């Protein structure tokens, strides 16, 4: 299987890179793309490799944060802040 070209590598993220930036597993990203939950990739090359840019990532983050899963992550972050107050040094 052919890999991304140099020009594609620096302008776009690959699917595994986009999944990592979103904090989800690549298989979950593939499923959400297939089911139409996330927008289509920014670019698909002649070999079928999908590429994503920062605008796409921002749209996907907004969708993820408004989902049931994203709301759970927001609530967990708030609980972590409450449980671990900043310690002051003397």
Tell me the β-bridge partners of 13: 52
What pLDDT is recorded for position 10?
A: 67
What is the number of other CB atoms lying within 10 angstroms of the CB of residue 59? 13
Quick one: which H or E segment has residue 7?
helix 6-11
pLDDT digits (tens, 9 = 90+) for 15-64: 999 999 999 999 999 999 999 999 999 999 999 999 999 999 999 999 99
Class of the CATH-defined domain 6-69: mainly alpha
For residue 86, CA distances in Å to 11, 29, 81, 82, 89 come to 39, 35, 9, 10, 10
- Domain-wise residue ranges, the chain: 6-69
pTM of the model: 0.66
């Amino acid at each position: 299987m052919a890999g991304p070209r140099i020009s594609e590598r620096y302008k776009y993220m690959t699917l595994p890179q986009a999944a990592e930036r979103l904090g989800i597993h690549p298989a979950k990203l593939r499923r959400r793309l297939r089911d139409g939950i996330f927008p289509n990739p920014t670019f698909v090359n002649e070999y079928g490799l999908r590429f994503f840019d920062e605008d796409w990532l921002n749209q996907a983050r907004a969708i993820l944060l408004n989902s049931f899963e994203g709301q759970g992550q927001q609530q967990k972050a708030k609980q972590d802040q409450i449980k671990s107050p900043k310690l002051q040094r003397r």
